Amino acid sequence: MFFRTESFQQFLKFYPIVSIIVGINLGLWLLTEFLPIPFFESIRALGVGNNFLIEVNNEYWRVVTAIFFHYGLFHALFNSFSLVLFGPPLERMLGKVKFIILYVGAGVIGNLATFWLGHIFLQHAGASGAVFGIFGAYLFIIFFRKHLIDYQSKQIIVVILVIALIMTFIRPGINEFAHIFGLIGGFALANLLIPEKRNTRWI
């Protein structure tokens, strides 16, 4: 289920939303960090999360745009790799529109929590809240839509989620608010997006 066997062209065709999001993640990293041109740096300054500017200037677009900016190549690659592994089954199951709602919605919930609960001068960026939202959706499926997931996949999700939560609290520089509330947001959104009556598994 989580092991990708498609060719690159097949992946683009079968999972266009995941592909576009990964392209945005890596493209923005390339433009704003690998090619530090003033114009691109100004785009980054306008896009990352900044609690002070949201509070003072009402720049609420940052709770959305911050999902797609990252601090460094490893940060962008890790979140993109997680999306490539765990996003496709949900995109196939939910469809394009619902998957976008889940991914962006969970990311926004995580970033709003960061704004409400974080320090006024906190700056943040990254898709981690949205990725945790994907895990939140899987967690909802494990508890309330058990017929949609096989045992092996459930075990993989639980193990990865436990490790991710542990790393959230032991690694420095992690936005705990985005992770935890992204997870909760994904769980809540899955309740709205995944119908109760569904007779077949997603794969």
Q: Which residues carry out catalysis?
A: 128, 179
Phi-psi region of 126 (alpha: psi -120 to 50; beta: other; left: phi over 0): left
Whether residue 7 contacts residue 15, with contact meaning beta carbons closer than 8 Å, is answered with no
The alpha carbon dihedral of 102, 105, 108, 114 has a sign of negative
Whether residue 67 contacts residue 185, with contact meaning beta carbons closer than 8 Å, is answered with no
Question: Which of 30, 104, 122 has the alpha carbon at shortest distance from 67?
Answer: 104
Half-sphere exposure in the Cβ direction for 102 (13 Å, CA):
34
